[in-house]
Amino acid sequence: MNDDDAISSADSRPAAHSEASVSHVLSAESTPSTTEPHQSDLTVVSTAPPMAIESPAAKLSPRELGVALEGQQLDHVLLEQFVGGGGMGAVFRAWDTTLHRTVAVKVLSLRQSADVDSLRRFHTEARSAARLDHPNIARAHFVGEDRGVRYIVFEFIEGTNIRDLVHANGPLPLGDALSYTIQIAGALTHAWEREVVHRDIKPSNILITPDGQAKLVDMGLARIEYIGQTAQDETATGVTLGTFDYISPEQARNPRDADIRSDIYSLGCTLFFMLTGRPPFIEGTAVQKLLAHQSDAVPDVREFRPDVPDILATVLARMLAKRPEDRFDTPLDLTAALAGCLDGIGMAPPPAILPAFAPWKTWAPRRTWWRRHMPWLVPAALLLAAVTGLAIKWHFDAATPPAFPDELQIPASSSSGTAADGPGEDNSSRENGRAASG
């Protein structure tokens, strides 16, 4: 079954049957946990209160849902261990009983399953992930629905997210922070080429593997550009927001205005966090943070991290510009600037990403026609201009007749000499004639 078939089959199930099945599978609620993600790191997906659902299972928090589903099997996937939860649902390490491999499974929260906008976001996440195939993006394998529980199967990534790394060990070394940012910029370039905007770049959505590879996960707020501008876009009602500490000003005002430059802003906030251990704006409530992103000057990263070189501070300041047009136009431009930072401070990417995952070595973004042919177009144009200039000059030279005087001019000395010689020649001829006759 492909993704579209899985989505179609999920949409065709009766809601009443789904709720009844879930109530049967999830027979008891777990006690609330104090280990939920910090509120500042939660992705806000709706400003409206959750829908009232009669099913007891639908009232479970993501963590309670994770505990309840641990050990259950959805179709051919066995949910072995609950590993985390968020605004959209619970995430598990699971075992694919068909292909015999470890996978990650994201299960949609049951209260979200009854909400049309949440289902659309869930399906958009699956389609967005399916469009992307890059070493720094978690790959989607399968979308399904079993007994009213909707889920997505992803590749399983053995690693730790950047938020937890920084909280455990403090701000990252310069080389690591640059390496991870360059890798995610490469992932964003790949998404940009395929018209996908992530819209929720933050430290907890970037996993770092033991060998230093950065992986971008969670496409829950992603938007496909050519779909996102229609009336069916989940952001049309203005409910999808993002994460307050990392959201761009334009996305906070209107999520439909978010484009790849919004992802660059959020990646800049994430780089700021990697270097300092805190996001750019930490004071106040969620609303005050949103206002700070809109109007407050971004703190200079060197105030918190004096060893940050000037060239990197300049790049970071441009990533965090308030106006999208003042940022890097594309992640490709950002990658070049970050690579320049490495060269400028005499550093090289960690060996773990060379050559396998260095963006400038493993893949080349599609270039426009004129960029592909620039090496030969310029000399050809110069040669054509030179030949054309010579041809025009030759044409005018050939078309212009030589300049002659209107009357033949004979020098005076030549005329008098000719006249004097004439009579002498006649007398000599007559004398010769007489001698011959005599």
Which residues are known catalytic residues? 200
Cα 264 from Cα 158, distance rounded (Å) = 26
User: Six-digit token pair at 417?
Assistant: 């000499």
Q: At what angle do helices 331-344 and 260-276 cross, to 10 degrees?
A: 30
CA nearest 343: which of 189, 172, 178?
Answer: 178
| Residues near 295 by beta carbon (within 8 Å), at least 6 away in sequence | 322
Specify whether the CB–CB gap between 245 and 204 falls below 8 A: no
Per the DSSP assignment, residues forming a β-bridge with 140 are 154
How many whole angstroms separate alpha carbon 44 and alpha carbon 242?
5
Contacts (Cβ under 8 Å, ≥6 apart) of 181: 267, 270, 271, 274, 338
